[in-house]
Each structure stands twice: as structure tokens, then as C-alpha cells.
Amino acid sequence: MDQQLSALLELMPQRVRHAIQSLSPGQCAALTELRLRVNRPCTLTLAGETVFLSSQGGATAVCDRPVWLSQDEMDEVYLKLCRNSVYARAQEIGQGFVTYCGCRAGLCGEAVLENGEVVGFRKLSAINLRIAREQRGAAKELLDVVLEKGRVLPTLLVAPPGCGKTTMLRDLCRLLALRRLRVAVIDERAEIAGEPGHPFDLGGVTEVLSGLPKAQGMELALRTLSPQVMVVDELGSEEEVRAMLGVLNAGVPVVASCHAASFEQLTRRPQFQMLKKACVVSRVVVLEESSLGNIKEVVRLEEGYDEVDFHKRDSLLLHGAGTVSDPGRRAPLSDA
């Protein structure tokens, strides 16, 4: 059992700990999510399948002896996840989660609003704990796509939630650092690098900025860390995309992850449209959903940038807006 899972179990009621500690080593390694529920069965996600925690120990596909939490037990787990200070975690809670030892805990319940913004939760009904792990070698195939003739290509890593994007980025940082590249990781929620006492190995020459918004972190890292490559997880807002454009315009490649199940879905997201119009992303890597480390498709966008008006391109890099046609071609992984 790895240290992240062990740290989470310290927060759990005894019967939850007993059930998980009764899992086989192989089941523990395949565990990606633990879902705690009030007065409803607690479940695990094992190798992509949902199973029920059993009061007899372990997990089963049949919900005959389920484990569940009382409201008081759920509130106690929540407080421990917040390290006994809900106020100190207000920024994360407003986004619907808290992070503990690099593991994200998604919150479900009755939201508390102030001026239209989420400021907390009352009567939590469920907590979804995503188990962060270090998987050495997971990004070997990705490295061959991202690194070309010793140069890192600006790349988007694409998959639905829970398919291993963060795990892949974590190992990619380590592999790039082994090649003595100065890597700057913008880790807003301490999910890539982990937290003090429970860190992940990102390599000896990797610098990590955590606890600040990604857009601000990218700008700060560019000014102060002189990175040769920047890594960002879950690129989302327009502000973050504009910050990424600023980094790329300064000559620093960025490898970022974002949510989409396919390249076609990605193209419908306005954030990607901004990047595509600026002609700055070289590769889009679509991950297999069922197998960590495997790549389903590589889209080579740089092959369609040959005829771009680069005066217009520079304006797009600076301002993140404009109109540039993208005759990009797609290539299968076997041609990469």
C-alpha cells in the first residue's frame, strides 16, 4: 500500500480502513477512487470498475454487506481533509474540492452561496477521493512524442477525467529532468508534486510552484525560474490560455493537460480554438481511457502551420484573439 493511500486511511472510520486494508496488493494498486457516502454504500473504483466496500472486509461486486458513513462521520472526515481549518481551504472548497497529500477530494452536498459564489458546503452527502500515484515509466511513450531532437514540443495531453493525465504529467516531469531540462511545474492544487511529507519524484532539476492560480503561476515562473519547459495540469479558463500564450511567445514550450474524450471534442472547446488560431501547439496526444500510459492518437498540428501569416501569428500570441485558418493534418501514432 503506497503512502498516499495510507495517509488517507488514517482519516477514515475503522470499518472503512478494515475493508480497504483487506484488499489484495493487486487490488490496492488498481484502486483509483474511494467514494464515501452518508447512509448509502461506499464504493471503490478498481481498474475502471465500481465495487462495493464490504463490512466483512475487502470489496465485492454485489452490495450485500455495504459500508456507509453517518453524517457525523462524514463531517469528521471532511474536517480532517481540511486539516481542521475549513476557512484555510476556502479557495479550494469554492471550486468543489479539497486536496490532501496530492489526492483530490471532490465534495457533494448542499452548497452555501454568497453573492452567487460557492463558499462552502453543509450536509455533505458524498466525498470522492481520487488516489494520486507515482507510476514510473508511465510517460515513456509520451516522451517520444513530446521530445524531438532534444527539443520539447508544445503539447496538449487529452483524456476524460480519471484517465491518468496527471499521473502521465508527473512521470514526464521526471523523465525530462533526467535529461537535465529545467522543468517548471505549475501545480495549483499540489496534485502533480504532492505535499510536504508525501511528495512525488519529479526529478532533481524540477521546480514546483503551488498554491496559486495557474495563470499567475505561469507568469511568475516565466519571470523568475528561467524554465526550458513548463508543465500545467488541467488547462481550463480563458485566462489560463492567455497566460500559456504569453509563455509560448517568450520561447518556452508548454505541456498541458485538458479534458476531452477525443480530438473532435477538443476542437469544440473555445480554449483550444484560441490556441489553434495562434498556431502554437505542435501536438495533441489523446490517451487511451482504459490503460495508463497508452496513447490512442497523436494529432500533429505543426504540419498545417507552414502557410500561416506569421505577422498575424505573433499578434495572436500576444493577444489570444484573431482569425487564422488551420489546415492541420492528423497522423496516427505509428507515423510519429
pLDDT in tens, the chain (336 residues): 678 899 999 999 999 999 999 999 999 988 999 999 999 999 999 988 999 999 999 999 999 899 999 999 999 999 999 999 988 888 889 889 999 988 999 999 999 998 888 888 888 999 999 998 889 999 999 999 999 988 999 999 999 988 889 999 999 999 999 999 999 999 988 899 988 767 899 999 999 999 899 999 999 999 999 999 999 999 989 999 999 999 999 999 999 999 999 999 999 999 899 998 899 999 999 999 878 888 999 999 976 654 444 344 443 444 333 333 333 344 443 333
**Residue 67 main-chain phi, psi, to 5 deg:** -110, 130
pTM: 0.78
Of 224, 226, 184, residue with least CA distance to 205 = 184
d(CA 218, CA 20): 39
* Domains, the chain: 3-130 (3.30.450), 140-335 (3.40.50.300)
d(CA 127, CA 125): 7
